[in-house]
C-alpha cells in the first residue's frame, strides 16, 4: 500500500471515529440504544468473522455465546459482582466451551458442522429457558445494573454508548493485531487449503480449536455488554435467529474482511430502522436488498471494494509492463 493510500485510510478512520464520538451526542435515548446495539453486535459478528471468515469453520452457535455472555453478566452483576469480573469469568467459560465446540470441526465440515453447531445453539437456548433455578426461565432476569468505569457511572445512555464504542475499539485493535500475526496467516491457510497448511507444519487441529475458542470469546464479550444495555435478559433474543442474523452480518459485510462485520451489523441493526417509513413492507424491502447484494457480490459489500481495488492494481501492473516493454523495444 502506498504512503498516500495509508494517509487517506488514517484520515478516513479519524473522521469515522470522531463522527461516532461527536454525532451521537445529539441522539435521543432510542438512537443511542440502536447505536450501542450496533457496537455490541459488531463485536459478536467479529468473533464469527474470525471463525468463519478467516478460519473457514461454519458456526451457527455464535448467538448462543452472546447468550452465555449476557446471562453470565446478568446473573453475576445482580449478585453484586462488578461487570469486569463477570467479563473475566465469561471469557474463560466461552473460551473453554468454544474450544470444546471446535472438536466436531476436526471430524466434520460445511453443512454437517453447521448442524452440530446448530444443535449446540438449541441446547444453549433450552438451558436458558428451562433451567429456571439459574436463569429464571421465561421470566428472565431484570434490573441488571450498568457499571461504573474508573469511577464514571454509565447509567445514562450516552456514557453507556461510549462504553460499548470503547469496547468495540479495543476488540478491533486486538483483532487487527491477531489477523496480522502469524496466527492470522495460519487461520487463512486453514480456510484456503488445510492439507497444504498441514504439510507446512501448521497444526490445523490447534488452530481450528483456537478459531472457535477466540470467536466464542468475542460472542461472550458482546453478551456481557448486551445485558447491561437492555438491563433485562430472557431466552428469546438468544434463539437460533440471532445466530442466523450474525451469520448474515458477516456474509453481507464481507466474510474474511476486517471491517466486514461493521458494515454487516450496520445493515442488520440500522437498515430496518431506516426502512421504517415503509411500515409493513420494510422486511420485504430489507430481504430484497440483501438478495440483490448477494447476487451482485457474493463476497459482500467489502468484496465489491476488493474487486475494484484488484482490478485497479491489475490495470496499473499492465500499464507498467506495457511501458517497460515499449522502452525495451525502443532501446533495441
Partner 1 sequence: MTAVLDVRDVKKSFGGITAVNGVSFDVQEGEILGLIGPNGCGKSTLFNCILGQLVPSAGEVRVDGKLVTGQRPSDLNRLGVSRTFQLLQVFPKLSVRDNLILAGQEHRGSMLSRLFGPSDAGLTTTADQMIGFFKLEHLANEPAGGLSYGQQKLLDAAMAFMGGPRLVLLDEPAGGVNPTMLGDLKERLIAINRERRATFVVIEHNMEFVMSRVMVMAEGKVLAIGKPDEIRANPAVIEAYLGH
Q: How far apart are CB 324 and partner 1 at their closest, in Å?
A: 10
Closest CB to partner 1 among residues 25, 200 = 200
End-to-end CA distance of the chain: 34
Among 130, 132, 193, 311, binds partner 1 (CB under 8 A): 193
Is residue 314 close enough to count as binding partner 1 by CB under 8 A?
yes
Is residue 201 close enough to count as binding partner 1 by CB under 8 A?
yes
Is residue 214 close enough to count as binding partner 1 by CB under 8 A?
no
Is residue 5 close enough to count as binding partner 1 by CB under 8 A?
no
Closest among 175, 156, 163 to 257, alpha carbons compared = 175
Among 99, 183, 257, 262, binds partner 1 (CB under 8 A): 183
Residues binding partner 1: what is the number (CB under 8 A)?
25
CA dist., res. 313 & res. 102, Å (int): 38
Binding to partner 1, residues 12-71 (CB under 8 A): none
Our measurement of the distance from residue 213's CA atom to the centroid of its chain's CA atoms, rounded to an integer in Å, reads 14
Q: How far apart are CB 258 and partner 1 at their closest, in Å?
A: 14
Is residue 111 close enough to count as binding partner 1 by CB under 8 A?
no
Q: How far apart are CB 63 and partner 1 at their closest, in Å?
A: 28
Long-range contacts of 17-22 (CB under 8 A, 24+ apart): 17/169, 20/165, 21/162, 21/165
Closest among 169, 215, 164 to 40, alpha carbons compared = 164
Is residue 311 close enough to count as binding partner 1 by CB under 8 A?
no
Q: How far apart are CB 170 and partner 1 at their closest, in Å?
A: 17
Q: How far apart are CB 264 and partner 1 at their closest, in Å?
A: 20
* Alpha-helical runs (H) found in the chain: 3-22, 29-48, 62-78, 83-102, 110-130, 132-135, 157-180, 182-192, 194-199, 204-230, 240-253, 260-265, 271-274, 282-296, 300-331
Binding to partner 1, residues 120-179 (CB under 8 A): 178
Choices 92-100, 200-208, 227-235, 263-271 (CB under 8 A): range interacting with partner 1: 200-208
Q: How far apart are CB 45 and partner 1 at their closest, in Å?
A: 21
CA dist., res. 156 & res. 258, Å (int): 31
Among 130, 181, 311, 318, binds partner 1 (CB under 8 A): 181
Please give the angle made by the CA atoms of 187, 257 and 84, to the nearest 5 degrees.
Answer: 75
Closest CB to partner 1 among residues 29, 205 = 205
149 DSSP β-pair partners? 152
CA dist., res. 73 & res. 216, Å (int): 15
| Burial zone of 11 (CB within 10 Å; 0-12 exposed, 13-18 middle, 19+ buried) | exposed
Is residue 6 close enough to count as binding partner 1 by CB under 8 A?
no
Closest CB to partner 1 among residues 156, 205 = 205
Residue with cell 470522531: 18
Is residue 206 close enough to count as binding partner 1 by CB under 8 A?
yes
Is residue 189 close enough to count as binding partner 1 by CB under 8 A?
yes
SS3 at position 152: strand
Grid coordinates given for 230: 437492555
Closest CB to partner 1 among residues 80, 201 = 201
Q: Residues in the site for partner 1, rule: CB under 8 A?
A: 178, 180-183, 185-186, 188-189, 192-193, 195-206, 314, 317
Amino acid at each position: 500500500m502506498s504512503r498516500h493510500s495509508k494517509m487517506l485510510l488514517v484520515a478516513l478512520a479519524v473522521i469515522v471515529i470522531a463522527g461516532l464520538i461527536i454525532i451521537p451526542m445529539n441522539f435521543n435515548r432510542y438512537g443511542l440504544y440502536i447505536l450501542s446495539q450496533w457496537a455490541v453486535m459488531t463485536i459478536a459478528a467479529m468473533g464469527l468473522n474470525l471463525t468463519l471468515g478467516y478460519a473457514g469453520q461454519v458456526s451457527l452457535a455464535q448467538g448462543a455465546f452472546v447468550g452465555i455472555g449476557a446471562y453470565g453478566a446478568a446473573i453475576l452483576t445482580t449478585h453484586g459482582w462488578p461487570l469486569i469480573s463477570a467479563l473475566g469469568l465469561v471469557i474463560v467459560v466461552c473460551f473453554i466451551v468454544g474450544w470444546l465446540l471446535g472438536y466436531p470441526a476436526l471430524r466434520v465440515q460445511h453443512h454437517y458442522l453447521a448442524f452440530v453447531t446448530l444443535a449446540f445453539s438449541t441446547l444453549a437456548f433450552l438451558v436458558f429457558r428451562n433451567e429456571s433455578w439459574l436463569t429464571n426461565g421465561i421470566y428472565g432476569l431484570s434490573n441488571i445494573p450498568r457499571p461504573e468505569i474508573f469511577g464514571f457511572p454509565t447509567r445514562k445512555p450516552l456514557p453507556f454508548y461510549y462504553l460499548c464504542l470503547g469496547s468495540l475499539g479495543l476488540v478491533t485493535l486486538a483483532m487487527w493485531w491477531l489477523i496480522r500475526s502469524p496466527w492470522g496467516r495460519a487461520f487463512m491457510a486453514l480456510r484456503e487449503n488445510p492439507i497444504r497448511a498441514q504439510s507446512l507444519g501448521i497444526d490445523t487441529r490447534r488452530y481450528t480449536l483456537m478459531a472457535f475458542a477466540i470467536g466464542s470469546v468475542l460472542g461472550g464479550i458482546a453478551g456481557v455488554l448486551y445485558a447491561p444495555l437492555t438491563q433485562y435478559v430472557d431466552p428469546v433474543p438468544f434463539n437460533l435467529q440471532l445466530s442466523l442474523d450474525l451469520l448474515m452480518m458477516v456474509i453481507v459485510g464481507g466474510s474474511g474482511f476486517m471491517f466486514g462485520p461493521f458494515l454487516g451489523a450496520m445493515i442488520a441493526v440500522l437498515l430496518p430502522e431506516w426502512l421504517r417509513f415503509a411500515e409493513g413492507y420494510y422486511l420485504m424491502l430489507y430481504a430484497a436488498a440483501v438478495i440483490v447484494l448477494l447476487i451482485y457480490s457474493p463476497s459482500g459489500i467489502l468484496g465489491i471494494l476488493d474487486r475494484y481495488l484488484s482490478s485497479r492494481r491489475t490495470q496499473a501492473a499492465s500499464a507498467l509492463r506495457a511501458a517497460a516493454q515499449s522502452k525495451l523495444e525502443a532501446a533495441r
